[in-house]
Chains A and B, each alone.
Chain A
């Protein structure tokens, strides 16, 4: 389609001054503005040159909406040679769904043409010959040429920009979702201390909704009144000095809920200086419940310790003060028995005997109680002790008993452990003594060995005694619990309770394995954490 070419001079001038968003309209009357010196044809070349060199795609459209001129950029952009474009309605370059609207706007524009960005706020798309679309930004300016008005459109492909924008939006959205979905409260404030961020967890923690808090001073909302001034001062100080005193580390602070309740929260605060603007952010979680539990636990532990100390004191004092009158009873019964037995008849002597025996038994029980209480009160701090030495001491103390029963004690290599020496001797002595006292038909044979497992030395005292019924395994460690009558085998039932107390005081535990008629093995552990602990140190030994 052949069209009259627009006035070249005007077009040249216009192309030279038009850029996207250029504010100045150019109204060129025919010839006005052209250089009088330019020969005809020269201006034409200038115009073409300028048009072709323009960085944007240029499309010139007449009043009827037909394309009259395009540049090489436009050819590239729309992927069509100019021959195919010139003479086409400009709507051919617009996706079909937008054509009607485009035509309407074009007609309206030609009523009142002016320089403007086209379709501000609208998503504009260009259509290529091959049917593909691409997002565009368009600037329009009118061009008077003789008696008709042309429109010059500068078209820019903004696909890359659009992609970057959408990626940015997606990123922002993702970040927002992450913060919103966080279990921890996320709170941000500007440098004046006003709330700028408040996620869903913050709403749940503090009771304020987002709408309530945005723009309000954080101090007024979640900082308890007595601490508000400090909060403000801290903010001010940071603004002035940038000294990160409370930033970047875990803090435990009181906070206040919307309903007035005081909470305890744990938080870290960070400051962000973004393009000269300061803001603060904190991840906060409510530890009120945890703190309450801690306090309750502490109170409980204190009460327990008090109660324990009282109990120890009680046991100690009771057994101490019980000993004096018991001594009197026991001694005078003995004296009565010796010096007045002739005055008593058979029955009287028997009754006196009962009194004497019970008194003596009570004395032994009270002494036993004292022994148990003394495990703590007279316990010494642990030190390196050669277990072989301790066992040797115990065996020596039991010399008479062992000899009388033709008993024999042997042991493997025993280590050095960290323990209270006297108490370790007491444990061995009690166990060996039991092995002899509760012997079977054979002369008592006791063997002691030690092994290391799980960071503790495990001592085992094996005997060939009468054994223990499994259902009594727990009972025998309780105070005063015995499996035999006084007249069968005398005893107080304290020995194992004392042993257990001693072993537990050292952080170990004690148990028994046994078979009736075969023998028993008592094992106890002593944690091997002391610096003096060494592997099996002492020589193996044995003693009758």
Chain B
């Protein structure tokens, strides 16, 4: 797939995921897609908010082009983070794709109700995961226009 580069810098992806094994798999899948990117991982909602607001954990972290969000996490889970980011004037324009194992209708409904940009079910099979991530990157990094950035 031809990628069109609209941005001078590499795609910044923020993955919010508490399980390091799952984070590793997403990292692998993203690499398989061949799009130049930097992946940042926050272990839960609080860490993610810190990163996004340029707090002490993420003072140097760039603003992500896309956030991949797991729902079930300790301390502050995906649903709370979603609500917080979409309520924040500064952060709300960042596209958030919920990427989670849950396929429950309730979770899907709630996510869109809280203005998630998309909801994807994380497959259990590795090859399936790679295919899903490929679709995701093709859509968000190649097909659609992302919000313009000052940098």
| A interface with B by C-beta (< 8 Å) | 323-328, 330-332, 334-335, 363
How many angstroms from the CA of A473 to the CA of B13 in the assembled complex?
Answer: 55
Q: Is the CB of B126 within 8 A of A363?
A: no
Distance of A509 from chain B, by nearest CB (Å): 30
A-B contact list, 18 entries, CB within 8 Å: A323-B101, A323-B124, A324-B19, A324-B22, A326-B124, A327-B124, A328-B19, A328-B21, A328-B22, A328-B25, A330-B125, A331-B21, A331-B124, A331-B125, A331-B129, A332-B21, A334-B126, A335-B126
A331: chain B residues at CB < 8 Å are 21, 25, 124-126, 129
Is B28 an interface residue, CB under 8 A from the partner? yes
A363: chain B residues at CB < 8 Å are 124
B25: chain A residues at CB < 8 Å are 328, 331-332
Q: Is the CB of A330 within 8 A of B126?
A: yes
CB-contact partner of A335 in B22, B28, B124, under 8 A: B28
B101: chain A residues at CB < 8 Å are 323-324, 327
B127: chain A residues at CB < 8 Å are 334
Residue of B nearest to A366 (CB): B124
Say yes or no: A327-B28 contact (C-beta < 8 A), given A334-B126, A363-B124.
no
Q: Which of A326, A331, A335, A363 has the most CB of B within 10 A?
A: A331
How many angstroms from the CA of A201 to the CA of B22 in the assembled complex?
Answer: 77
Q: Which 5 A-B pairs have the closest CB atoms?
A: A328-B21, A331-B126, A334-B126, A327-B124, A331-B25
How many angstroms from the CA of A94 to the CA of B121 in the assembled complex?
Answer: 118
Residue of B nearest to A334 (CB): B126
Distance of B121 from chain A, by nearest CB (Å): 12
Residue of A nearest to B122 (CB): A327
For the residues of B in contact with A, the DSSP-based class is helix
A327: chain B residues at CB < 8 Å are 21-22, 101, 124
Q: Is the CB of B124 within 8 A of A330?
A: yes
Residue of B nearest to A332 (CB): B21
Count of A-B residue pairs with CB < 8 Å: 32
Residue of B nearest to A333 (CB): B126
Residues 1-27 of B, flagged 1 when their CB comes within 8 A of A and 0 if not, give: 000000000000000000101101100
A335: chain B residues at CB < 8 Å are 28, 126
A328: chain B residues at CB < 8 Å are 19, 21-22, 25
Residue of A nearest to B128 (CB): A331
Distance of B100 from chain A, by nearest CB (Å): 11
How many angstroms from the CA of A26 to the CA of B79 in the assembled complex?
Answer: 122
How many angstroms from the CA of A216 to the CA of B44 in the assembled complex?
Answer: 80
Residue of A nearest to B20 (CB): A328
B124: chain A residues at CB < 8 Å are 323, 326-327, 330-331, 363
How many angstroms from the CA of A335 to the CA of B26 in the assembled complex?
Answer: 13
How many angstroms from the CA of A324 to the CA of B126 in the assembled complex?
Answer: 13
A323: chain B residues at CB < 8 Å are 101, 124
Q: 5 new A-B pairs (CB below 8 Å) besides A331-B21, A331-B125, A331-B129?
A: A324-B19, A326-B124, A327-B101, A331-B25, A331-B124
Distance of A333 from chain B, by nearest CB (Å): 9
Which residues in window 97-129 of B have CB below 8 A to A?
101, 124-127, 129
Distance of A421 from chain B, by nearest CB (Å): 15
How many angstroms from the CA of A286 to the CA of B125 in the assembled complex?
Answer: 67
Distance of A368 from chain B, by nearest CB (Å): 13
Residues 118-144 of B, flagged 1 when their CB comes within 8 A of A and 0 if not, give: 000000111101000000000000000
How many angstroms from the CA of A199 to the CA of B92 in the assembled complex?
Answer: 87
Residue of B nearest to A360 (CB): B125
Distance of B23 from chain A, by nearest CB (Å): 11
B22: chain A residues at CB < 8 Å are 324, 327-328
A326: chain B residues at CB < 8 Å are 124
How many angstroms from the CA of A94 to the CA of B144 in the assembled complex?
Answer: 135
A324: chain B residues at CB < 8 Å are 19, 22, 101
Which residues in window 16-42 of B have CB below 8 A to A?
19, 21-22, 24-25, 28
How many angstroms from the CA of A330 to the CA of B24 in the assembled complex?
Answer: 13
Residue of A nearest to B129 (CB): A331
How many angstroms from the CA of A331 to the CA of B25 in the assembled complex?
Answer: 8
Residue of B nearest to A378 (CB): B104
Distance of A373 from chain B, by nearest CB (Å): 13
How many angstroms from the CA of A328 to the CA of B28 in the assembled complex?
Answer: 13
Distance of A275 from chain B, by nearest CB (Å): 75
B129: chain A residues at CB < 8 Å are 331
How many angstroms from the CA of A334 to the CA of B128 in the assembled complex?
Answer: 12
Q: Which of A323, A325, A328, A363 has the most CB of B within 10 A?
A: A328
Distance of B124 from chain A, by nearest CB (Å): 5
Distance of A422 from chain B, by nearest CB (Å): 12
How many angstroms from the CA of A327 to the CA of B129 in the assembled complex?
Answer: 11
How many angstroms from the CA of A326 to the CA of B101 in the assembled complex?
Answer: 12
Distance of A366 from chain B, by nearest CB (Å): 10
